[in-house]
Structure 1
């Protein structure tokens, strides 16, 4: 089991739905969070992308010198940069970081935001483009010169001259709930990511993607994106959950509902169903809470409880096929420490196992 954390490049806070307790993005604060990730036992951290976020590549590059072991899961949107340029960027970053790059291929789900960046493609068209992008991407690391002519990309003699440390290329991640997402993930990526829905639904989705990949002659690993609210007792954890959304009133919820209505992301619609459209019954499964989705787009669910119950829920996801957990909590600095202190001793973490093995060999 591997646990990643999250770098809050769009800002951080103690509360959702209000400016109270807000923390601005500063180099110093992101360095604090990154150093916590680097030293507490997390495998790495996700750096998001979007209009409200600081640029993920720039932030990640700035953090290379102050970290030693954390991996950077950088969000990348195909269509905003050609696959050849992206491959060179990835290769450079991987070498400069000592082989610590991972890439999260994201499509974006808000047509308004995408149009603001010059991308005017419908949902399935974006996945078609990603399919072409990743086809070229993978060939670039296997062939000296690549020619490709498709609907979205026209590459003549593309190539990279400085290879990455990781072979054949830095691992690829991709999430999505639609059939188009499943096809692209099964065809190209190393990890399929799902958001935090009840374990039975996650298990079914994993089985579906695994079968599609099998028919293509491939194997895919699986990860899940969740928030976490862990405390010494379950009562404290649920009090913290309620406190996090104490400023989320009807006005905030209605504003979010209007915003989400324009999204064409199938995964976002499912998150909206679990939170905004289900606001009076937010514990959607034992220990799985959809309150964060009332005031935040993207991942909207959290595992809530004492360390034993949260660990038990994580192990249920692991039994369903998940081996990578990408987690976060508000505020991210304090919750990184709390998660490592309370939760990590309860989990069979990959890096901890390796450290114990190395000690025994010594």
Structure 2
């Protein structure tokens, strides 16, 4: 199947509600992640022109819904990618939460469907289902959830969900519902994704592996008369030279000990997430196998669960690697870097100009004014006429 590369990319950043700092695996260089700090990151992402921000979910994080609700009023254009949790939430309650946050944010909500991949954490939340059965719940949940948001009344008697006269009185701004994002590398996850969501996500595997996965998902969706778009979750370490970028990567894990790696990898091994297993297999917990593909570095995954790879290099190199993923069909990049406030600026300033992005409402290029001695004395940014926020189109 011949696939046209994504002509334009949507670039999202990350709100680190689980913590932030200059190094991994240590309290050295750590910083308190409170409301003020999260607001700073969100406002920076908004001003710089990021399409949105991802908020993580799980017991190691602040609640994503409460955080997004608190931060969103302080931004103007920024979208918020927030998780629904099948098995943890009633689909009707989740639909009401979704409609409300979409309404109060003026249509700036994106939904991340998270099934959960850590059996220990799942049991702590009262979920004792095995991997494949959780996806049965996810399918039932999404069928009810999507119908309610689309304005339908729901009566269902499923294996796990029973609803009588379910309905939603207040509809979301985005119709029929906010875009649904989904990441799941297992057969069961992909089977649900091709029937129910709008954007399929993968973690940052080498381009050849991502291409195999994208082609598989695309082909299966086509047999069911559906078409999905694709996104990827990556960290970034970009500096003005490649040498500087690789030094920054080494510094990021300079406090990570072998004991810390062993403890983290032991936790990852208990998880039944196929995506997490694929991440761990990229480097096997070894420091000498971290460049798993040109400029794709697995050092983050030594101690961090979930997304564990980073694009490392100078601006031209990182942009070229992004374009490789675009050629596969990836149109959405969910990025992060440590610390998240500074790196949001660094990536935007160095790499944004090299990538083609959709037009961003009310985001002006900053023009510098210099004085008689060459120093910068002011910034000049003229406001543009307010325009309505462009909605993301949802395909059925």
**Band of TM-score, shorter chain:** over 0.9
Q: Which one of 129, 134, 141 corresponds to residue 126 of structure 1?
A: 134
- Unaligned 5+ runs, structure 1: none
1:261-340 aligned within 5 A: 261-340=269-348
Deviation at 1:143, TM superposition (A): 4.5
- Unaligned 5+ runs, structure 2: 1-8, 365-383, 388-396
Provide the aligned C-alpha RMSD in A: 1.5
SS of residue paired to 1:277: coil
- Distance in 1, Cα, partners of 2:184 & 2:283: 18
Deviation at 1:350, TM superposition (A): 1.4
Q: State the partner residue of 2:223.
A: 215
Q: Which one of 190, 193, 202 corresponds to residue 194 of structure 1?
A: 202
Q: State the partner residue of 2:125.
A: 117
Q: State the partner residue of 1:21.
A: 29
Q: Which one of 96, 101, 104 corresponds to residue 109 of structure 2?
A: 101
Q: Which has the larger radius of gyration?
A: 2
Q: Which one of 59, 78, 82 corresponds to residue 86 of structure 2?
A: 78
Deviation at 1:354, TM superposition (A): 9.8
- Distance in 2, Cα, partners of 1:328 & 1:157: 42
- Count of residue pairs brought into register by the alignment: 358
Are residues 1:166 and 2:174 paired? yes
Q: Which string of whole-angstrom CA distances, capped at 9 and with x for unpartnered residues, describes residues 28-83 of structure 1?
A: 10010010111101001000101110000000000121100000000221111111
Deviation at 1:353, TM superposition (A): 9.7
Are residues 1:239 and 2:273 paired? no
Q: Determine which structure has the larger helix proportion and give its number.
A: 1
Q: Which string of whole-angstrom CA distances, capped at 9 and with x for unpartnered residues, describes residues 320-351 of structure 1?
A: 01000000000000000000000101100113
| Cα separation, partners in 2 of 1:338 and 1:300, compared to 1, 3 Å | same
8 Å CA contact 2:98, 2:172 repeated in 1: yes
Q: Which one of 39, 46, 70 corresponds to residue 38 of structure 1?
A: 46
Deviation at 1:89, TM superposition (A): 0.5
- Distance in 1, Cα, partners of 2:149 & 2:55: 24
8 Å CA contact 1:274, 1:290 repeated in 2: yes
- Distance in 1, Cα, partners of 2:287 & 2:361: 40
| TM-score of the superposed pair, with normalisation by structure 1 | 0.96
- Distance in 1, Cα, partners of 2:158 & 2:362: 44
Deviation at 1:144, TM superposition (A): 3.5
8 Å CA contact 2:297, 2:311 repeated in 1: yes
- Distance in 2, Cα, partners of 1:46 & 1:244: 22
| TM-score of the superposed pair, with normalisation by structure 2 | 0.88
- Distance in 1, Cα, partners of 2:301 & 2:152: 46
Are residues 1:5 and 2:40 paired? no
8 Å CA contact 2:151, 2:168 repeated in 1: no
Q: State the partner residue of 1:142.
A: 150
Q: Runs ≥4 in structure 1, deviation > 4 angstroms?
A: 352-356
| Cα separation, partners in 2 of 1:143 and 1:94, compared to 1, 3 Å | closer
8 Å CA contact 2:238, 2:312 repeated in 1: yes
SS of residue paired to 1:64: helix
SS of residue paired to 1:343: helix
SS of residue paired to 1:65: helix
Q: State the partner residue of 1:153.
A: 161
Deviation at 1:191, TM superposition (A): 0.3
